[in-house]
């Protein structure tokens, strides 16, 4: 079987961005392995900080990620009701390393979010560990390193980055 190439990874990440932009979150969740993590550290932490002893914005295991998706699909997730409109650009995709059945990838993201007449920009770098199983790519780690200082003026990460 041929090795995963950057173009495969790009296709995968573009698909992920598309699912998120369409608010197809339950399908998006299927992209993750059962032991996956999704993390967004605070911007004054080193990029390899651990969520076990540092304060993050988000540090979800697979269970809480599932709960995050459930929550965001409810009317009572007020910050995202009605759902905001988002537009994601993923670029500068690079393969950083390869394991037996994993590929480490970094990509730059720019996500525009519009709600109630205000448009905010989220930007930064996402580091992924992708698991390749029988040709199928899944996410086992996703860590979004926000560019900029803090979360101003948008103030919240109510969407998935």
Tell me which residues touch other proteins (CB under 8 A).
40-45, 49, 51-59, 63-64, 67-68, 70-71, 74, 76-80, 116, 118, 149-158
Contacts of 99 (CB under 8 A, 6+ apart): none
Note if the bond before 82 is cis, omega within 30 degrees.
Answer: yes
Do 102 and 130 form a contact (C-beta atoms < 8 A)? yes
- The first and second tokens of residue 21, run together, are 């932009």
Question: Which of 68, 138 has the CB closer to other proteins?
Answer: 68
Question: Which of 97, 150 has the CB closer to other proteins?
Answer: 150
CB of 135 to other proteins, least distance (A): 33
Strands of the sheet containing 102-115, edge to edge, are 56-61, 32-41, 136-146, 118-133, 102-115, 85-98
- The first and second tokens of residue 93, run together, are 């995709």
CB of 76 to other proteins, least distance (A): 4
Query: Any idea what the Cα angle at residue 85 is, between residues 10 and 11, rounded to 5°?
Result: 10
CB of 154 to other proteins, least distance (A): 8
CB of 108 to other proteins, least distance (A): 20
Question: Which of 17, 161 has the CB closer to other proteins?
Answer: 161
Question: Which of 12, 23 has the CB closer to other proteins?
Answer: 23
Question: Which of 45, 108 has the CB closer to other proteins?
Answer: 45
CB of 88 to other proteins, least distance (A): 17
- Mode of pairing for the β-strands spanning 136-146 and 32-41: parallel
């Amino acid at each position: 079987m041929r090795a995963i190439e950057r173009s495969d990874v790009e296709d995968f990440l573009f698909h992920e961005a598309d699912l998120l932009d369409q608010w197809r979150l339950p399908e998006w969740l299927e992209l993750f392995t059962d032991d996956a993590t999704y993390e967004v550290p605070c911007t004054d932490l080193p990029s390899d900080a651990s969520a076990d002893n540092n304060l993050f914005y988000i540090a979800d295991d697979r269970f809480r990620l599932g709960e995050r998706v459930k929550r965001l699909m409810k009317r009572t997730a007020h910050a995202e009701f009605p759902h905001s409109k988002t537009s994601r650009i993923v670029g500068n995709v690079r393969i950083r390393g390869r394991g037996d059945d994993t590929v480490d990838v970094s990509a730059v993201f720019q996500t525009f979010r519009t709600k109630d007449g205000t448009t905010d920009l989220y930007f930064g770098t996402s580091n992924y560990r992708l698991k390749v199983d029988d040709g199928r790519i899944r996410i086992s780690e996703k860590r979004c390193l926000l560019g900029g200082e803090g979360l101003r003026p948008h103030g919240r990460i109510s969407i998935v980055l």
